[in-house]
Structure 1
Amino acid sequence: MKKILEVQDLHISFHTFAGEVQAIRGVSFDLHEGETLAIVGESGSGKSVTTKSIMRLLPDRTTEFKSGHIMFEDKDLIKLKESQMQKIRGKDISMIFQDPMTSLNPTMTVGKQIMEPLHKHQHLSKADAKKRAIELLQLVGIPNAEARFKQYPHQFSGGMRQRVVIAIALACNPKVLIADEPTTALDVTIQAQILELMKELQKKINTSIIFITHDLGVVANVADRVAVMYAGRIVEVGTVDEIFYNPKHPYTWGLISSMPSLDESDEELYAIPGTPPDLLNPPKGDAFAARNQYALKIDLEEQPPMFKVSDTHYAATWLLHPDAPKVEPPEAVKKRMHKFKATDLEKEGK
């Protein structure tokens, strides 16, 4: 499968009054044509910063790209001028943000907002742009598209506003679509509809998606591959099946254990102990060591490299070193893994 985007050893810092925040510390990943890559982790792990760096939406005054490359179609996006990025942003790479109300201009009709990228990037006439905008509203499942074309964002429900945001992002048939927790502000019923819509649209236009979320339940439904982030680094990456059925990093175990389950209401919900480290002064060794009950002495002294589990599965934990003691995932993780398998068998009708 052809690589469409490649992030290589990315380091990003923010300069604040308190000092230098090392927000991204050596992130590397690939995105292939037509695939959905989910980036998961707690708030503050660096998910949004990583993807906003791809769009070059980080504030210039306080942001420093210390090293690394973001390669898209043989161009390093970090080195492009703003005028060059404007030709890519919204056309080749688009983004869906968390809150649809703040993503839309309340003073403009939704139709005009969908027409904007069509005018700017595809140079369509007003009549053609309007026709295409109505088609996009229909594509994302908004009924009475011609009438709703003339309405303002406040006249739409939260779910419908998010559909409008998706229509804007898809207007120019982007090669890469970044979805930054697009269902966080929506209730679970509407969330499921939006996720199903994104899967259908991906098949129709064959775009590649980077899906940011802290909800592993969402990941299971939308992603092909998963990258788990913690403290500005990717600590595990693999296919959906590898991450859910054979997780190797203790942080991934914690995320899986903390997933709520409707049929286990009597059990206390698991929470990962402690808090993420302060990236003003990142720890010397493994950033997760202070919260990791399986931490080894070396975790406090040296960052683990990415150990290979399979051709598609890698994890940065010293527990995978040949000399490390053998540690099994906790029972809560095993129960979730068993449940995932049972659910998949039900879906397959076995």
Structure 2
Amino acid sequence: MKTILQVKDLELSFHTFAGEVKAIRGVNFELKKGETLAIVGESGSGKSVTTKSIMRLLPESSSEFKNGEILFDGKDLTKLSEKEMQKIRGKDISMIFQDPMTSLNPTMTIGKQVMEPILKHQKLSKAKAKEVVIDLLRMVGLPNPEERFKMYPHQFSGGQRQRIVIAIALACNPKVLIADEPTTALDVTIQAQILELMKDIQNKVDTSIIFITHDLGVVANVADRVAVMYGGKIVEVGTVDEIFYNPQHPYTWGLLSSMPSLELSEEKLYAIPGTPPDLLNPPVGDAFALRSEYALQIDLEEAPPFFKVSDTHYAATWLLHPNAPEVDPPATIIERMKTFKGSKYYKQAHGGEA
């Protein structure tokens, strides 16, 4: 598949009264045409900052690109002017934000709000743009779109408002759609509907999606590949099956162990001890070492490189070094693997035994 977006060695800092916060520290990933890449991790791991840097939505007065490139359509987005970025935002790269109520203007009808990017980026008359908007509202599942066109955000439920936000993001058929925790503010039933809607829309419009979330349960339903982020870095990347059923990084083990599951017999959920690192003074070695019971001495001294697990699976942990001691994953991870005994990932992890 063709690579549509590539982030290379990205480093970004915020300048604060307390000092320089090194929020993104050498992030690398690529997005293929038509795929969904999920970026997961705790709050403060750098997920949203990474994607907002792609859109260039961070305040220039306090943020600074220190190194790296964001390559899209042959252009490095970090080097573009604000005027050049305005031609890309909403047209080629769109974003769905977390809270639909704050994403919508309460003083404008939803029809005008969905029409706005169409009039800005496409040479259409208002009458033709209105037809496009009505088709979009129908596509995202709003009944009676002709009547809804004239209504205001407060006249819709939370789930309906999120559908409107998705319609705005899709108005110009973007090549890349960034969804920043789009279901967090919704109840579980509506979450499922929105996720199903996004999968259906992706099949129809052939867009590539970057899905930001801290909820691994959501990831299993939407992603093709997963990048696990911690302390401003990506620590593991692989297909959704590789991350769920053959995880290699202790942080990924912790995230999976803390996820509730009907199959697991544990009565108590695991909680990762400690707190994320202070990026005013980033740790020298592995940022997760002080929270990990599997940490080695070298983790405190030197940051691990990426080790190859398969052609699509890489993890930055010294536990994969040939000279590292053999370590078994937590019991919850092994038990989770057993629910997937028929998979090649389980067989790889257990020496070919099924």
**Normalised by the size of structure 2, how large is the TM-score?**
0.95
The residue aligned with 2:122 is 122
Determine the C-alpha separation between the residues in 2 that align with 1:145 and 1:73: 34
The residue aligned with 1:57 is 57
What CA deviation, in whole Å up to 9, does each residue of 1:168-208 have, x standing for no partner?
A: 00000000000000000000000000000000000000000
Asked if 1:146 is matched to 2:165, the reply is no
The residue aligned with 1:322 is 322
Determine the C-alpha separation between the residues in 2 that align with 1:92 and 1:337: 39
The residue aligned with 1:30 is 30
Work out whether residues 264 and 336 of structure 2, in 8 Å CA contact, stay in contact via their aligned partners in 1: no
Asked if 1:137 is matched to 2:137, the reply is yes
The residue aligned with 1:310 is 310
Determine the C-alpha separation between the residues in 2 that align with 1:58 and 1:329: 38
The 10-residue stretch of structure 1 (329-338 or 141-150) with the greater mean CA deviation from structure 2: 329-338
Sequence identity of aligned pairs in percent? Answer: 79
Q: Which amino acid aligns with 1:242?
A: E
What CA deviation, in whole Å up to 9, does each residue of 1:7-29 have, x standing for no partner?
A: 00000000001110000000000
Determine the C-alpha separation between the residues in 2 that align with 1:97 and 1:17: 28
The residue aligned with 2:331 is 331
**Normalised by the size of structure 1, how large is the TM-score?**
0.96
Work out whether residues 244 and 340 of structure 1, in 8 Å CA contact, stay in contact via their aligned partners in 2: no
Q: Structure 1 regions of 5+ residues with no counterpart? A: 344-350
Determine the C-alpha separation between the residues in 2 that align with 1:297 and 1:137: 56
Task: Please report the RMSD computed on the Cα atoms of aligned residues, expressed in angstroms.
Answer: 1.3
Asked if 1:182 is matched to 2:182, the reply is yes
The 10-residue stretch of structure 1 (123-132 or 313-322) with the greater mean CA deviation from structure 2: 123-132
Asked if 1:160 is matched to 2:157, the reply is no
Q: 1:263 to 1:311 in 2, by over 3 A?
A: closer
Q: Which amino acid aligns with 1:275?
A: T
The residue aligned with 1:346 is none
The residue aligned with 1:19 is 19
Secondary structure in structure 1 of the residue aligned to 2:310: coil
Determine the C-alpha separation between the residues in 2 that align with 1:325 and 1:266: 27
TM-superposed deviation, 1:341? 6.0
Work out the number of aligned pairs and report it: 343
TM-superposed deviation, 1:261? 2.3
Q: 1:201 to 1:282 in 2, by over 3 A?
A: same
Determine the C-alpha separation between the residues in 2 that align with 1:261 and 1:194: 22
Asked if 1:203 is matched to 2:203, the reply is yes
Q: 1:198 to 1:283 in 2, by over 3 A?
A: same
Determine the C-alpha separation between the residues in 2 that align with 1:85 and 1:310: 37
TM-superposed deviation, 1:85? 0.3
The residue aligned with 1:213 is 213
Determine the C-alpha separation between the residues in 2 that align with 1:55 and 1:153: 25
What CA deviation, in whole Å up to 9, does each residue of 1:53-105 have, x standing for no partner?
A: 00000001000100000000100000000000000000000000000000000
Q: Which amino acid aligns with 2:213?
A: T
Secondary structure in structure 2 of the residue aligned to 1:22: strand
Q: Structure 2 regions of 5+ residues with no counterpart? A: 344-354
Determine the C-alpha separation between the residues in 1 that align with 2:236 and 2:113: 38
The 10-residue stretch of structure 1 (260-269 or 184-193) with the greater mean CA deviation from structure 2: 260-269
The residue aligned with 2:68 is 68
Determine the C-alpha separation between the residues in 2 that align with 1:75 and 1:190: 38
Asked if 1:254 is matched to 2:254, the reply is yes
Determine the C-alpha separation between the residues in 2 that align with 1:164 and 1:338: 41
The residue aligned with 1:287 is 287
The residue aligned with 2:100 is 100
The residue aligned with 2:226 is 226
